[in-house]
Amino acid sequence: MAVASVAAALLAALGGALWLAARRFSGPRNQRQQGGGDPGLMHGKTVLITGANSGLGRATAAELLRLGARVIMGCRDRARAEEAAGQLRQELCQAGGAGPDGTDGQLVVKELDLASLRSVRAFCQKLLQEEPRLDVLINNAGVFHCPYTKTEDGFEMQFGVNHLGHFLLTNLLLGLLKSSAPSRIVVVSSKLYKYGEINFEDLNSEQSYNKSFCYSRSKLANILFTRELARRLEGTNVTVNVLHPGIVRTNLGRHIHIPLLARPLFNLVSWAFFKTPLEGAQTSIYLACSPDVEGVSGRYFGDCKEEELLPKAMDESVARKLWDISEVMVGILK
């Protein structure tokens, strides 16, 4: 009896996955994969993408390159970043874009480890010396469900990388973004923010660690950061918006342990149910370059449409308190 029910469950999953797969390759989403905007849309603009060597960041970089942007990949591992950059240059060349080695400097790799405030400061100092403008900053990099570890500065890893590292990075680049206005900041959050709380008494989870809760907290922090930053940027012509990409088939799940025998089923399910990185990147690309959102700031988007936030993500006093404590944690001098 047990064998029969397991077989039935597997068949049902397989059938469901195949049905979804059929729907996926016939549905309208697939057309959008070809990339919307016109190739000149981002010509002359410089875009910085954190975590651009993998997943959503890589897909975002590929599309913005195709639209003519100059893309700076802010990545922590030089080898992985250069490998991804080489592939992106090839793809661009095959799509009729820049020369085979990107000789016009359209794609550059710069080392940035968001788990190290020292690395963030060094990255920003170098970028401010070398770059005359910054039109779009995309805070994309992230870590998900890692074992309890701390950053170089003693922060819980998910809170440190997903929020605090980007908090310092953004603050250090605000001057260049303002002098490049109209300019944009795009923050990649997640639907899972709904399960987070900002526990000011234990932001580094030293009393107890729950990897799901800490991830959700870091994603809620992304949204609160966006709304407080939008308030502080009023009148500067620098906008900041936040998004969730849906569920996307990327390397984010690297810390999820799936038994070897179950992996093929999980891979099938993720292939059928999850978005491709290019599909998942559509809202980042939209917020980075669409004229539809010129002047829009402080809003939350999904699938290129504005979405409602839960009250806890709209709490201005929590957002302000998080900002103030983040300034202290990253050592931003008043």
Ligand X SMILES: NC(=O)C1=CN([C@@H]2O[C@H](COP(=O)(O)OP(=O)(O)OC[C@H]3O[C@@H](n4cnc5c(N)ncnc54)[C@H](OP(=O)(O)O)[C@@H]3O)[C@@H](O)[C@H]2O)C=CC1
The binding site for ligand X (CB under 6 A) comprises: 50-51, 53-57, 75-77, 80, 112-115, 140-144, 161, 188, 190, 244-245, 247-248, 250-252
With CB atoms as reference, the residue minimizing the distance to ligand RET is 253
* Residues 265-284 within binding reach of ligand RET (CB under 6 A): 266-267, 270, 274
Among ligand X, ligand RET, none, what binds residue 157 when CB lies within 5 to 8 Å by partner kind?
none
Query: Which of residues 8, 22, 128, 258 is near ligand RET by CB under 6 A?
Result: 258
Give just the sign of the alpha carbon dihedral 221, 251, 211, 206.
Answer: negative
φ/ψ of 19, rounded to 5, equals -65, -45
Cβ-proximal residues to 59 (8 Å cutoff; 6+ apart), any chain: 276, 277, 278, 280, 281
* Residues 61-80 within binding reach of ligand RET (CB under 6 A): none
d(CA 148, CA 206): 9
Cβ-proximal residues to 76 (8 Å cutoff; 6+ apart), any chain: 111, 112, 113, 114, 115, 119, 141
Written as six digits, the tokens of 303 are: 């699938």
Which H or E run contains 279?
helix 277-280
Nearer to ligand X, 106 or 140 (CB): 140
Comparing C-alpha atoms, which of 301, 149, 295 is closest to residue 214? 149
d(CA 2, CA 12): 15
Q: Give the interface segment with ligand RET, choosing from 152-160, 226-234, 247-255, 290-298 (CB under 6 A).
A: 247-255
Measured from the CB of residue 79, what is the shortest distance to ligand RET in angstroms? 23
Q: Is 20 in the site for ligand RET (CB under 6 A)?
A: no
Nearer to ligand X, 146 or 181 (CB): 146
286 is catalytic: no
Q: Which residues bind ligand RET (CB under 6 A)?
A: 144, 190-192, 247, 249, 252-253, 256, 258, 266-267, 270, 274
Catalytic residue positions? Answer: 215
